[in-house]
Amino acid sequence: MEQISKRLMSWASILEDNTRAQAVATSQMPFIYPHLALMPDAHLGKGATVGSVIPTLGAIIPAAVGVDIGCGMIAVRTQFATGDFAGGDLSVLRESIEAAVPTSAGKYNERLTEPTAARADELRELAGADQADALARNWPLQLGTLGSGNHFIEVTADEEGIVWLFLHSGSRGVGNKIAMKHIKIAQDLCRKWWIELPDPDLAYLVQGTDEFWAYIKGLRWAQRFALLNREEMMDRVVGSVEAWTGVAVVESERINCHHNFTQQETHFGKDVWLSRKGAIDATLGTPGLIPGSMGTASYVVEGLGNRLSLNSSPHGAGRSYSRSAARKAFTNDDLRAAMVGIEYRDTDAFVDEIPQAYKDIDVVMADAADLVTIKHTLHQMVNVKGD
């Protein structure tokens, strides 16, 4: 760990100059307490750095949560061993998953199944559903959909050859609209009050105002949507595996965790709003999930409760190339070489997700040695992504 300043602690051994400067600017906001914690996977983000843990007193920065509110991971440990999958056509399993879970930006369900409708009913009863209805009337059809970018579904195996089902997604289009609405409100208010900011995306809402509580209501709703979205997708993936194997899945463990979220916590003697933008809760004993990039290992972890990190740990590998830079630097042949032995949809649409476009997950996990304990290391058998 490096103490960059009194208000900025960093666990990132790989840290670009512009990322460092962005984190320094955020840490100097007057309501940060006690300090910002920069995770090993830190990289440049919108306003605030992705891979940062931001505690605030009496204010909240909507862009410091991110536009994919509640984005996170879910994993299920099954009873299967890799030998149970030997000889089977994994392309059929991949295509079954792709048929069960709509992927890619703008892709939704055409109708609601009974379980999806029940989850939509729960969300309708929550405070914040009015915002969702106003911004995206079709949000119920977004439940159980993956999205694109770095979101994925995987069939993986751990160090003992036990098969896990693993996926990454968030609050989809509705969460993005809620986030963008309140980022703009915060920016408008800061302009109205003549507040100078180092970056417009560090605009904040003041606790006690109507605008603050409207954001919190929408935020909490979107976080619940994201968690239920992952549950819905995982149930569909389980169903695909059952159809492919002809055997019911027996779940011995299911972990569902956010890595873009805000909640109230107590740190260093004060109640703060803790925003984890690309970080997971690593309170002592808390299970968590840290994915690598496409083609690399992922990890099931347990928090060590490191106080200086504000009980947090990294959420993944963290980009080292922008998407446009990755497309210039790498080819589909490079991606094929990285994905040898893994069943995936072979398309140049995924070139910007190549492992080389990300930080080395092994370095990230080494940097996080005092934040989490690794319980399982997962290697991909099947990878599903959206364009």
Residues labelled as active-site residues: 315
User: What is the H or E stretch that residue 290 is in?
Assistant: strand 287-290
CA distance 117 to 62: 29
User: Are the C-beta atoms of 303 and 286 separated by less than 8 Å?
Assistant: yes
Going through 127-174 in order, the beta strands assigned E by DSSP cover: 152-157, 162-169
Q: Write the single-letter amino acid at 367.
A: D
Instruction: Report H helices in the chain.
Output: 17-27, 82-85, 90-100, 114-125, 129-135, 139-142, 172-192, 210-245, 323-329, 332-338, 361-367
Give the residue from 359, 342, 336, 352 showing the smallest Cα distance to 386: 352
| Contact yes or no for 5/27 (Cβ under 8 A) | yes
What DSSP state is assigned to residue 349?
G
DSSP per residue over 313-348, as a string?
A: EE-S--BSS-HHHHHHH--HHHHHHHTTTSB----G
Helices 210-245, 114-125: crossing angle, 10 deg rounding:
170
- How far apart (Å, rounded) are the C-alpha atoms in residues 387 and 380? 19
Sign of the alpha-carbon dihedral angle for 230, 235, 237, 238: positive
* CA 101 to chain CA mean position, Å: 18
